[in-house]
């Protein structure tokens, strides 16, 4: 896998464990950072002046739950896409929701992908393995130093 890390933003502890376990089975060398709410995520990614933190430089992909406490996943996505420093960052919405409005809103706000978590553990592991391999091995993201503001 790439040397970049995966940011998982998930408030359900059981889903956190399953996602980390599944991602580690895809690659035991890829760091996985877990955050529990949208507010914590924004503080992790942006300083108080709204500038991207050093944490952004190490990320290869963000797995973002739609329904989060404090600040919703869709609001986090809106913030990511409004900043030149993070608008390039791949964001995958991962949710238990089957709401068509959530799907439409996520894509309107610039999500790169939208997946619904399967109930079956094996399917979930398979899905996370494919996801991690694609977004960290196949997909290419720019180096933070080469990202320009327009």
Q: How many angstroms separate the CA atoms of 87 and 83, rounded? A: 6
First to last CA, the chain: 31
Q: Domains plus CATH for the chain?
A: 5-139 (3.40.50.2300)
The model's pTM is 0.88
Neighbours of 44 (CB within 10 A): 15
pLDDT digits (tens, 9 = 90+) for 44-66: 999 999 899 999 988 989 999 99
Orientation of helix 13-26 relative to helix 121-133, angle to 10°: 50
pLDDT digits (tens, 9 = 90+) for 4-23: 889 999 999 988 998 898 88
> Which residue do the tokens 């979930």 mark?
124
The pLDDT value recorded for residue 148 is 46
> Which residue do the tokens 């399917």 mark?
123
The pLDDT value recorded for residue 1 is 42
Question: In what helix (H) or strand (E) does residue 133 lie, and over which residues does it extend?
Answer: helix 121-133
DSSP strand E in the chain: where? 5-9, 32-35, 59-65, 91-95, 113-116
């Amino acid at each position: 896998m790439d040397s970049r890390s995966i940011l998982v933003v998930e408030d359900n502890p059981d889903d956190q464990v399953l996602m980390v376990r599944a991602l580690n089975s895809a690659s035991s060398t890829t760091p996985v950072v877990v955050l529990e709410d949208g507010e914590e995520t924004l503080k992790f990614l942006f300083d108080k002046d709204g500038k991207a933190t050093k944490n952004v430089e190490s990320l290869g992909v963000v797995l973002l739950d739609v329904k989060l406490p404090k600040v919703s996943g869709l609001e986090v996505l809106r913030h990511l896409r409004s900043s030149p420093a993070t608008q390039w960052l791949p964001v995958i919405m991962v949710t238990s929701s089957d709401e068509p409005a959530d799907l439409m809103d996520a894509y309107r706000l610039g999500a790169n992908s939208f997946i619904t978590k399967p109930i079956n553990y094996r399917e979930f592991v398979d899905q996370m393995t494919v996801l991690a391999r694609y977004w960290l091995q196949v997909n290419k993201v720019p180096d933070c130093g080469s990202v320009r503001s327009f």
